[in-house]
Structure 1
């Protein structure tokens, strides 16, 4: 959890900065709804509405989310990538997903196509955020190989039908 600063940002709020800080941190750190955070605080003796928590998240959330992302451990150097078809409002899309060898989800991207251009876009997004891995494990989709040869020819690309089931 991050330390709450006694700054002017917390001035005028009914609750102390530590309570606000804890609520915003819990919302971003764990997959919780505003009502879940409300229940968590209630069990600790703090009565606050989910709407108040929503306003705190809107006001202070960007700062806390940035700190949580910064403090997240670096991904391993072996990534697993896969894509799966999903239907949204009757239209077919492709959900691209990248997972490191520890099982942490690196990124997801929904695209309407499953071609080299789509793979290129997903790789650029991943490489910009995390750098390049040592090993990439994918299924045998040819788009992965074509995009990797263009973007990062030095990466060890392992295309295998069953190895990427982690993604």
Structure 2
């Protein structure tokens, strides 16, 4: 197997500790983790693909790598995420976990760049407000937020505005939200081969990795150096 090139060789804080119990070459681990969040592949697909390359790795082992490493990728990516616009489009999408529908809150700016995301068990005012608070904490406050006709989303924004000197302008215009609804499809396309998540925590971790890869592809990562890096090298640079 040809080794995957990475831009740096120093491991990110926390990665060395995790790798102590993962008894495989680093390039194999990182390749499997990236492919899982970047492409429409199941864990068993990855097991077969590695076997074709002469590497015996069980799909359950790949799953453990994914669960352990993706939080490190997401944490580091947030430090290098480029600023987003002040006009937000917010909506929620459905995610199946253990046979039940849960809710992935997401927002993009008018250019289509991802602002933030949050998986919640319920679709209500509390969940929507928690999403807005998280998004504002990480990205600063927007000037305008466009939502659909959801009463819970409107109530959440009204609650956020109640604590602000300068209120956020709220628009409930469905057609303006087409951009975020279209963006949901990229996430749905990746989760479809998974046939549902096993538990809420795993879903939150894996969705975070998928969102990170999606943002990297959209050019939302601040890269060091003069030469632009490919999406794959940007992903690896988060831990190397």
State the distance in 2 between where 1:45 and 1:85 align: 38
RMSD: 4.2
Distance in 2 of aligned mates of 1:87 and 1:59: 22
Does 1:134 find its partner at 2:134?
no
Q: CA deviation at 1:133?
A: 2.0
Q: Note the alpha carbon deviations across 1:63-112, whole angstroms, 9 max, x for none.
A: 334334544444333211235799999x9987654333316372244435
Considering fraction of residues, name the structure with more helix: 2
CA deviation digits over 1:120-162, x for unaligned, max 9? 3332232223321232112354525523431443433333343
How many residue pairs get aligned? The number is 164
* Alignment map for 1:1-167 (pairs within 5 Å): 7=16, 10=19, 14-30=23-39, 32-82=41-91, 96-101=105-110, 102=112, 104=114, 106-108=116-118, 109-113=120-124, 115=125, 119-140=128-149, 141=151, 142-143=154-155, 146-152=158-164, 153-167=166-180
Query: Between Structure 1 and Structure 2, whose CA radius of gyration is higher?
Result: 1
**2:190 corresponding residue in structure 1:** none
* Consecutive unaligned residues in structure 2, runs of 5 or more: 1-5, 181-240
Q: Which has the higher strand share?
A: 1
Deviates more, 1:31-40 or 1:128-137: 31-40
After TM superposition, the score normalised by the length of structure 1 is 0.63
Deviation at 1:59, TM superposition (A): 4.4
Change (3 A) 1:156 1:34: same
Deviation track 1:7-47 (CA, whole Å, cap 9, x = no partner) reads: 57645765322222322333345564322332443454433
Contact kept, 8 Å, 1:83 with 1:97, in 2: the verdict is yes
Query: TM-score when scaled to structure 2?
Result: 0.48
Q: Give the distance between the partners of 2:19 and 2:76, measured in 1 at CA.
A: 18
